[in-house]
Amino acid sequence: MERTIVELIARKRDGHPLTDREIQRLVAGFVDGTVADYQMSALLMAAFIRGMDDAETVALTEAMLHSGEVIDLSNVPGTKVDKHSTGGVGDKISIALAPLVAACGVPVPMVSGRGLGHTGGTLDKLEAIPGFRTDLSIADFRRIVAEVGTCMIGQTREIAPADKRIYALRDVTSTVECIPLIVASILSKKLAEGIDGLVLDVKTGRGAFMKTEASARELATALVRVGTRAGKRVVAVLTRMDAPLGRTIGNANETREALMVLHGKGPTDVVECTLVLGAEMLVLAGKAASEAEARRVMSEAIASGRAVEVMERMVAAQGGDARVVADPTRLPRAAAVVPVPAPRGGVVRGIDALELGLTAVAMGAGRTRADQAVDFAVGIEIDAKPGEAVRAGEALARLVVHREGDAAGLVARCTAAFDIGDNAAAAGALVVGRVDAASP
């Protein structure tokens, strides 16, 4: 006998697992309107409180995945691999990573997101490139991946539509921080891309959604376990997100910095994070036997100019001004630069990534609602990173704004994000862990 929707909600409320068929019915019913918003909200809260086992999480992922179109990339030869980050401040890695890995012979189909809250979004950063379109059709997405090797778009109405609607409910019912629901949301979108493998950058620290290493590892383990059960090759890398990544925050600001990596330049931590994740992608795709070989292959792609060429071709294919790749100064930049002076001399012991992320949002570089526009031209440029010495009055950072008056009240907030002491704090490693299918 088939249970009613109310009975299914009650079973989850009481801690019983739901079957694959029951979860599929619930998701399909929500999409076609036979399951009401308030019923799905009740189910999400029950799952938040009671949890979901791996079988339920796989079933939820599959149901959300097949609520829309699963992109067929069988016309693209090779092992298709994507990367997903759980989000952080100054995280512009995808912008350089996708064309770099594609230049090494690995197709990278990438469906990215927008910024919300204190973290930025890859789509907003890419759209700082004049003319660049992320709202392409699936047909155009397939064509560009086949012709260029990579394409970076946003979630379309055809890709996992159930996820988009369920996430909207989670956002307003305080059920976002639930690992099974996070896993299903991430994987349903990523598996819809037609990929064979996925590398996850799970961030931990003050500027990440997962504040502790333990919670980040729990999420990484669940993502790898469920992704593997769904038939994909999945690896997760845990990276530190206490201080911002790189020296820039803001959309055009971060795109400019990411492009420098393709020219063999850029901040050390941005370069290292790009190479760490890129090496995992190349090994996963069988293009390198080891991390050392993968790093050599990527270094050659940068030195030869192939990585820049792929980026130029992708930008042009997506309607953007490809000249910005060779000349990132063409990206928009607000006219006024307001320094943030150091209140005392010493050494920067740490930077509160969350506080700087929120400061950037207050400047207009981010959004607090999904329907808000962002200002591509404003942002923060960091002069003093952790471990670097600074004299009193020297710039810790610079606020890039349209008018000096726009920085009123933000200088003090930015100053408070910097911890200055007499001695440097012990530097933590960028990579704090790794999880794969063989991990305990």
DSSP state of 205: S
Q: Give kind and range of the element (H or E) at residue 193.
A: none
Of 69, 56, 147, which is closest to residue 111 (Cα–Cα)? Answer: 69
Phi, psi (degrees; rounded to nearest 5) at 392: -55, 130
With 0-12 / 13-18 / 19 or more C-beta atoms within 10 angstroms meaning exposed / middle / buried, residue 102 is: buried
> Which one is catalytic: 80, 83, 84, 240?
84
Q: Can 189 be counted among the known catalytic residues? A: yes
Residue bearing tokens 């959309």:
251
Overall residue count recorded for the chain in this entry:
440
3-state secondary structure 213-256: HHHHHHHHHHHHHHHHHCCCEEEEEEEECCCCCCCEECHHHHHH
Q: Catalytic site residue 265?
A: no
The token pair that represents 92 in the structure block: 């512009």
Contact 192, 198 (CB under 8 A): no
Q: Are strands 395-401 and 197-204 parallel, antiparallel or unpaired?
A: unpaired
Active site (annotated) includes residue 85? no
Q: Which of 142, 170, 240, 313 is catalytic?
A: 170
Take residue 37 and report the two structure tokens written for it.
Answer: 């918003």
Annotated active-site residue in 82, 91, 124, 163: 163
170 is annotated as an active-site residue: yes
CA-CA distances (angstroms) from residue 119 to 124, 228, 368? Answer: 11, 28, 10
d(Cα 265, Cα 252) in Å, to the nearest integer? 17
Give me 116's structure tokens: 């919300």
Catalytic-residue membership of 84? yes
Helices within 230-352 (DSSP H only): 251-262, 268-284, 291-304, 306-317, 323-326
Catalytic residue among 85, 94, 112, 185: 185
Task: Copy the structure tokens of residue 88.
Answer: 């952080």
Which two three-digit tokens encode residue 89? 């401040």
End-to-end CA distance of the chain: 39
Tokens of 295: 């790093």
- Identity of residue 90: G
Contact 153/137 with Cβ under 8 angstroms?
no
Contact 248/256 with Cβ under 8 angstroms? yes
Secondary structure element (H or E) that encloses residue 51, with its range? none
Residue keyed to tokens 């109310």: 6
- Which residue is catalytic, options 189, 217, 313, 398? 189
Residues annotated as catalytic are 84, 163, 170, 185, 189
